[in-house]
Amino acid sequence: MTMNKEQKNKIMEEYGRHEGDTGSPEVQVALLTARITELTGHLQEHFHDESSRLGLLKLVGRRRRLLAYLRQEDYQRYVALSDKLGLRRK
């Protein structure tokens, strides 16, 4: 259910702006998107798992705030990231 280190490193390499980038908004949003996708699949099977549902809502809120920050700071990076991840834009 959780991501292992290899999966996280692959995401960081793909979305990072430079070598060893772990904190840029792009990397954080990509990692959150992967976790949200995993939790969504889990909740489709275990639909009574309320604690996981609340955790999912917190992750979605955190991702939304990071995307809002990125949109405000650099709109081109925001558009590129949302297209690459397949996220809807406002």
CATH code assigned at 26: 1.10.287.10
Domain membership of residue 21 as a residue range? 5-85
Question: What mean pLDDT do residues 46-70 have?
Answer: 96
Percentage of residues of the chain with pLDDT beyond 70: 99
> Does any domain span residue 40?
yes
- Rounded Cα distance between 40 and 2, Å, is 12
Residue type at 27 in one-letter notation: V
Q: Does position 1 have pLDDT exceeding 70, yes or no?
A: no
For residue 90, is it within any domain? no
- pLDDT tens figures, 20-54: 899 999 999 999 999 999 999 999 999 999 999 99
Length of the chain: 90
Name the domain count of the chain.
Answer: 1
